[in-house]
Amino acid sequence: MTIDSSASRGTPDAPRIDISFVVPVYNEEECLPFFYQGMLAVIKRLEPRYAVEVLVVDDGSSDSSWELIESISSEYKAFAGLRLSRNFGHQVALSCGYHFARGRAVISIDADLQDPPAVALEMIQKWEEGADVVYAVRTTREGESWFKLATARLFYRLLRRLASSREPFDAGDFRLLSRRALEALNRMPERHRYVRGMVGWIGFRTATVEYARQPRAAGKTKYPLWKMVRLATDAIVSMSFTPLRLAYVMAGLVALPFLAYLVYNLLLWVIWDVEMVKGWPSMILAITAFGSAILFVLGLMGEYVGRIYEESKRRPLFLVADRVPRHTGNAKRD
């Protein structure tokens, strides 16, 4: 089955949706039954005030996740499923869900109940108060290995340094986006997507709610080390071109000590008349000069490559949050 994106959005007879939940799923057959229970309890509290949809994106699972998604979707009309043709990875599955979500507010949530669905109620509250982006910030993380915690900590610090990221520390992918924030995000066409950083980039009014991250309801993490390394690389490379500037730093690191050493040796020779191996100073000078010139030019190339990269992302140049006056037409203001 193929899905036509235009059919899913904005058709006149489509029911109005207030809250969309977007749930990326990869081999979560053990978790899904628990997740549905948790979700149904939250839907019960939201309806009838809000019309809710739960968009479950199957990221090419090889277990029975899709069958479970099909059966819940036929049982409850709030649930709907999308199945990707293969495993594209969490960030892409999430982006797919964002693309199809119809709600006035969209909440992304994991299927393993590490993000308790009930926190969504507080997020909706903040959204009603005017926030466009509501981050759920983890105060504690139970049931995760010290290794994951330590690497996550190191990673967020590094990212903050390199990419001047704007999203709060310890915010995962559990968040609410208002319609306009979502549309801004969907306008960013880049392919290597580090959604967290992109959400930080779009700005708008933000708020946070705190929650205690729970252990997984069942099964094992679908983020093995290599996927985390890939995510970290995407995060740093997609949000900054600082690494390209390393050549500048290296040029300095190479040139300065060698030049100092050369000057010292020349002083020995000129002032104190110490014997020198013939040709040594000129050789060192040549090596240092060439080495640092090459590194410097590499750094310069990096600046250009970085700019080409920035341009090729084709992000919107700006996003407008508000305008006054708000009315349109020619009516005179009084």
**Binding site residues, ligand UDP, CB under 6 A:** 24-26, 28, 59, 87, 89-90, 93, 110-112, 114, 221-223
Quote the CA–CA distance of 276 and 200 in Å, as a whole number.
Answer: 59
Would you give the DSSP letter of residue 244? Answer: G
Quote the least distance from Cβ 3 to ligand UDP, whole Å.
17
Q: Which stretch binds Mg ion (CB under 5 A): 102-110, 231-239, 253-261, 274-282?
A: 102-110
Residue by residue, DSSP assigns 19-37 as EEEEEEESS-TTTHHHHHH
Alpha helix positions (H), 109-224: 119-128, 146-163, 179-186, 195-202
Quote the least distance from Cβ 40 to Mg ion, whole Å.
20
Closest to ligand UDP by CB, 112 vs 132, is 112
3-state secondary structure of 107: strand
Query: Quick check: 108 binds Mg ion (CB under 5 A)?
Result: no
Quote the least distance from Cβ 119 to ligand UDP, whole Å.
15
Q: Which stretch binds Mg ion (CB under 5 A): 88-96, 104-112, 156-164, 193-201?
A: 104-112
Query: Quick check: 27 binds Mg ion (CB under 5 A)?
Result: no
Closest to ligand UDP by CB, 27 vs 208, is 27
Report whether the peptide linkage leading into residue 325 is cis, meaning its omega lies within 30 degrees of zero. Answer: yes
Query: Which letter, b or e, does each residue of 96-106 get, where b requires 16 or more Cβ atoms within 10 Å of its Cβ?
Result: bbbbbbbbbbb
Among 112, 132, 167, 234, binds Mg ion (CB under 5 A): 112
Q: Which stretch binds Mg ion (CB under 5 A): 107-115, 154-162, 190-198, 294-302?
A: 107-115
Q: Which does 53 bind (CB under 5 to 8 A by kind): Mg ion, ligand UDP, none?
A: none
Q: Which does 111 bind (CB under 5 to 8 A by kind): Mg ion, ligand UDP, none?
A: ligand UDP
Q: Which does 76 bind (CB under 5 to 8 A by kind): ligand UDP, Mg ion, none?
A: none
The count of chain residues that interact with Mg ion, using the rule CB under 5 A, is 3
Closest to ligand UDP by CB, 53 vs 115, is 115
Q: Which does 26 bind (CB under 5 to 8 A by kind): ligand UDP, Mg ion, none?
A: ligand UDP
CB atoms within 10 A of CB 33: 14
Residue by residue, DSSP assigns 191-212 as SS--HHHHHHHH-SSEEEEEEE
β-bridge partners, 134: 176, 207
Q: Which does 132 bind (CB under 5 to 8 A by kind): Mg ion, ligand UDP, none?
A: none
Quote the least distance from Cβ 115 to ligand UDP, whole Å.
9
Whose CA is closest to 318, among 164, 202, 179?
202
Quote the CA–CA distance of 90 and 36 in Å, as a whole number.
Answer: 19
25, 69 contact by CB (below 8 A): yes
Whose CA is closest to 276, among 258, 291, 260, 284?
284
Query: Quick check: 173 binds Mg ion (CB under 5 A)?
Result: no
Closest to Mg ion by CB, 102 vs 213, is 213
111, 22 contact by CB (below 8 A): no
Binding site for Mg ion (CB under 5 A): 110, 112, 114
